[in-house]
Amino acid sequence: MTVRVAMLVVSAAGSLSAMHAIVRFLSPSIHPFELAFFRSLFGFIVILPLLLRGGIDSVRTHQPRLQMLRGVVSIAAMMSWFYGLSMVPLAEATALSFTNVIFGSLAAIIFLREKMTMARGIAVFIGFVGVLVILRPGFVQMDIGVVCVLFSALCWGCSVVIVKQLGRTDAAVSIVAWVGIQLSILSLPFALSVWVWPTMEEWLWLSLLGTLATIGHLCMVQGLKLTDAMTIFPLDFTRLIWASLFGLFIFSEWPDVWTFVGAGIIVISGTFMLYREDRI
């Protein structure tokens, strides 16, 4: 079981990192907003057969307002993430994205009225220390790309909290169907505002973009079914390794030691938080 979970999570990390590399590769010729639309569209097409097989139950929900809120939060997360990826090195963006667990914990305190325990407070503080190690304010210039990546992590953290609420009444297929439909629709106006027609080669890359996104999320969801988040999160750290390899061989980007140190601090704080909450 442990080996299977590890293979699923590492495969998810590799698939999602490859997807992010494609976004960075295509962003000079196709605007990130348009890339976000095609990621949503092709990703939805990949899972469409599963939805058709499930029939009307695939989109049945007991909390439509919450589903729509998740769609808005998710589109904000994806658009800001893709835009940030066009400017921030892959490894650095990936390292900063690990803060979604910290932001998710804060969102649970605010919206779900969960308690701010001493352990949770310490973990949040340590996590933000990790962010400061990566960014080193005063030594490295803070640009709009970094702000977008951190905002994306904040939105993804809130999205996780919403999914936690939806999971109490709605099936997983329904949650996936709703977000797939909403992301495709909500991202279209943004894409049209910067639209350029892709070349034949770019169409192939775009279809691969959506396919990798779906494969990555399916592997991660399956891994979560087999074990808890406390086990998954440290393994998800391999995304930084994948991102570093893609960044090095495709974009000649090599992350500095501070990126790895800061990411390690963030992962340790997140793992500690999940461990303490799992024991409550």
- pLDDT tens digits, 111-125: 767 676 777 778 778
**Mean model confidence pLDDT for the chain:** 82
Cα gap 132→261, rounded to integer Å: 11
- Out of 222-226, 240-244, 265-269, pick the least confident: 222-226
Cα gap 69→98, rounded to integer Å: 23
Which 8-state DSSP code applies to residue 197? P
pLDDT at 139 over 70: no
**pTM for this entry:** 0.84
Distances in Å between the Cα of 88 and the Cα atoms of 141, 144, 179, 181, 251 are 12, 9, 26, 28, 12
What's phi and psi for 9, nearest 5 deg?
A: -70, -40
pLDDT for 259: 85
Closest CA to 79 of 134, 23, 26, 28: 23
pLDDT category, 242, cuts 50, 70, 90? confident
Sequence-separated (6 or more) residues with CB below 8 Å from residue 43: 180, 183, 210, 211, 213, 214
Question: What is the share, in percent, of the chain residues with pLDDT greater than 70?
Answer: 87
Q: Would you say 98 and 267 are in contact if contact means Cβ atoms under 8 Å apart?
A: yes
pLDDT for 100: 81
Cα gap 129→63, rounded to integer Å: 37
pLDDT for 191: 95
